[in-house]
Amino acid sequence: MSRNPSAVEIVSSALPNRIAASWHRSLACGLQRSDRKELPYSEGALDDSPLLRAARPVLDRFGQTLSGAPASVMLADENGCILDQRIGDLQTLQQALQKSGAAPGVLFAEEFAGTNGVGTALEDASVTTVHGDQHFAEYMRHLSCVGSPIRHPITNSLRGVLDLTTLVEDYNPLMAPLVLEAVKHIETRLTQFSSAHEVALMEEFTRTSTKCHGPVVGIASNVFLCNTAATGVIHPYDHTLLWELATSKATTDQFDAAVELGAGPCVVTCIPVAPSLAKERGYVLRLDYTAGSSGGRRRGGTRGTARAFDLPGRSALWRRAIGELRQCVNDPTPVVILGEDGLGKVTLGKQLLEAAARRGEAQIVEAGEVISGEVLQPLQQGVGVVLRCTGAPSAGELSELVTRAKTAVEADSRVGRLVVTLRSPCAAEREIQRGLTGIARSVQLPPLRRRPEDVADIVPVVLRSLQGGSRLRCSPSAMQMLMKDQWRDNVEGIERALRHACSAARGVDLQPGDLPQWLVAESSGRALSTFERAERDLIIETLHGVGNNRTQAARILGIGRATLYRKMRSLAIPVSGRHVS
């Protein structure tokens, strides 16, 4: 009797890495190899769309070519719904396709059909060949298919996939180039169905790039274009800053502004692009790093934070947390700093006390599950205390201690201040926060995975500390890889990775090959855009709010369950397990 193989068995098999990863995803969706489930059907998806209109002439020619041939071509949208299908005359192929469930209107995404040329090509966003037994579903093992993603030539967004399928014995290596050639024709025709603002943005971007030999960027809500000069200097974390800059002024006139980008200070000339009768607006940006070097702000560091708090970071989340700490400097109320390990809670606590007292250094005291009253003794001598809670103290103990410290400093201004650093999340975190209401100010430090742009500021600082002033730098390609990781250990994880890279480096610039192999494997996915990170945060918060119930989360978000699963995988949100981060 056939059984569902375990993940261990899959990894140990002879499957190619990409196919094995697809099998893992299929298992995570609850699929079983021997099961033959009815695939979802979406009649509304068959309505005329720009993709279908652009592809129809290409499919017509493809259909004529396939007349009498043992092959089938399928067009699917970005959700994996089959929009059109042309089948050759081979009866055995028609029967195999009918058994697989492939037909117009059917959702062939991985979460429903397992590993296949349509769904897997969408998941990997690259040309995918699935041959015979590489299909997850056993009832598809008689087929071989090649799928190629279709991207919009202006926005570069994924619009669908073109799939060519044959019986296993009829597979030909030339299928891939044949599909790629057809996809090129479809993508070219998609330009004709672009929106007015997309066309206007592309025209202005092309015109500006022709006149200007320096870096030029085109940006809109769903578009990011770079010329050759910009490709070498623009970092993924610059997208946010440039979009914020472009949209900061409600004007249709050209304007200049200075900004600090990953490659250094830069003067940006912003050209708004607002075609008539179009609601959306785009922007073309000329970048001048030479002009920015004389008057720009210092690179890296703590842009926008108080001088007392010098931990690096440029993101809005980090600047907001630092701003909250800054407001605590002249307030004698005890402060509780919450956050995961490796964020610098103790360092910030010391800096807060030093900025408040403006003399001496703070004393660091550690406490585990139980907090001793002796913690308050240094306070009576006017010494500030950073209480580092390494365990999970009870809400009552912590509340009592903070109350005593608050009462003491209110009675005598010479009494030292108390800062508590607490690991978050912990089992009693909500109870502790409720107990501290009204007697302490709390500041929550955001984890590094929610602010990947800060990695660009943290890495140079860590490198300087590891190398003792050495000129070792991080190359753009290595930095991109560092920014893709989730950094569960936050800055401590970066320190370990860079310590390994420093010992492996052979030149002045750290390269991707110098980084640990585990990091290379974890960072093999693409970097998320600003909008994708916002969407990821919304999905994560919604899942947390409903106890990781995907059906309920999809209902709250107003999307289908299949769409939620696709977005979770695309945005690197785990699709299995109780904890979602």
pLDDT tens per residue across span 572-581: 675 543 333 3
Most confident of 164-168, 275-279, 432-436: 164-168
Cα separation, 418 vs 387, in Å, equals: 7
Angle at the Cα of 483 from the Cα atoms of 568 and 244, rounded to 5 degrees: 85
Residue type, 30: G
558: CB partners within 8 A, 6+ apart: none
> Do 540 and 580 meet the contact criterion of CB atoms below 8 Å apart?
yes
Place of tokens 């605590």: 328
Q: Is the pLDDT of residue 46 over 50?
A: yes
Q: Determine contact, residues 308/351, Cβ cutoff 8 Å.
A: yes
The neighbouring-strand residues paired with 158 are 151
Q: Which residue, 461, 488, 446, 480, is CA-closest to 574? A: 488
Work out whether strand 158-167 and strand 385-389 pair parallel, antiparallel, or are unpaired: unpaired
* pLDDT given for residue 355 in this prediction: 81
- Residue by residue, DSSP assigns 393-419 as --HHHHHHHHHHHHHHHHH-TTSPPEE
Q: Is the pLDDT of residue 236 over 70?
A: no
Residue 302 has pLDDT above 50, yes or no: no
Range 170-182 burial, b when 16+ CB lie within 10 A, else e: bbeeebbebbeeb
Instruction: Give the pLDDT of residue 576.
Output: 44
**374 secondary structure, DSSP code:** G
Q: How many CA atoms lie within 13 A of 100 on its CB side?
A: 33
Q: What is the mean pLDDT of the chain?
A: 79
Other CB atoms within a 10 A radius of the CB of residue 400 amount to: 15
* Sequence-ordered strand ranges (E) for 180-279: 216-220, 223-226, 255-261, 264-273
Please tell me the distance from the alpha carbon of residue 553 to that of residue 268, in angstroms, as a whole number.
41
pLDDT of 534: 67
5 has a pLDDT exceeding 60: no
Dump pLDDT digits (tens) for 485-525: 878 889 988 998 898 888 888 777 888 888 887 777 666 55
**Distance in angstroms (rounded) separating the CA atoms of residues 298 and 291:** 14
487-501 per-residue burial string, b: 16 or more CB within 10 A, e: under 16: bebbbbbbbebbebb
